[in-house]
Amino acid sequence: MAVDTDFVDDNVAGETAPDVPPPAATVVFGPALGQAQAFARMLATQGVERGLIGPREVPRLWDRHLLNCAVVADLIDSRYRTLADIGSGAGLPGLVLAMMRPELSVTLLEPMERRCRFLSECVAELGLVNASVLRGRAEETVLRADVATARAVAPLDRLAEMAVRVVRPGGMVLAIKGRQAAGELRKARPVLRRIGVRDAQVVRAGEGKVDPATTVVRFFAR
């Protein structure tokens, strides 16, 4: 996950110290709140020191990043058992979804070694037995997950071609986007038709739980 300014501007709700989760966090994270707090501390310290997030993002970790990712779990129903997070970076949304859905087997797919080291440390520190780290690119992997997620990785037309490589036939792709999601989807339509995806649409996750809700482009592989 890189910091995408278009995405960031669309999802600002407020600023909170990393150690003090906003009220919505208790509702959204439920029993995973303790893990979320520990992850926030890791992002605010090691994450900044290693250049995985910018220091200006620290006061906005909860509203702009953690909650924004957590509500995406609402879009993943119980029939799905495996998830691949493309370009996992600092673990957003992959680590958050592993906390939220312990029954899911989550693979954090990341090509950069230093990011993989951070992700592995987070997995161990947070006790996420359902998460593993795989160094590699979506274009080269042999993964075939039920669900693929991505956040601030690439424009939708490029991301779609990567994502269909890591999901099984009929698998679901959830691309967390910002205010330009509808425009990205229109631009990507020719690529989506060519690669045979279906039911591509912009959906909102977490309405009534977080403000603003998280904007997601959802589609299914052929």
Q: Specify whether the CB–CB gap between 3 and 57 falls below 8 A.
A: yes
Say what the pTM is. Answer: 0.91
d(CA 193, CA 2): 27
- Do strands 214-220 and 105-110 pair parallel, antiparallel, or not at all (unpaired)? unpaired
pLDDT reading at 186 higher than 70:
yes
Residue-wise pLDDT for 158-179, tens only, equals: 999 999 999 999 999 999 999 8
pLDDT of residue 172: 98
Closest CA to 69 of 188, 172, 220, 209: 209
pLDDT band per the 50, 70, 90 thresholds, residue 17: low
Residue-wise pLDDT for 19-32, tens only, equals: 789 999 999 999 99
User: Is the bond preceding 212 in cis, omega lying within 30 degrees of 0?
Assistant: yes
Residue-wise pLDDT for 61-109, tens only, equals: 999 999 999 999 999 999 999 999 999 999 999 999 999 999 999 999 9
Handedness of CA 42, 209, 73, 3 (dihedral sign): negative
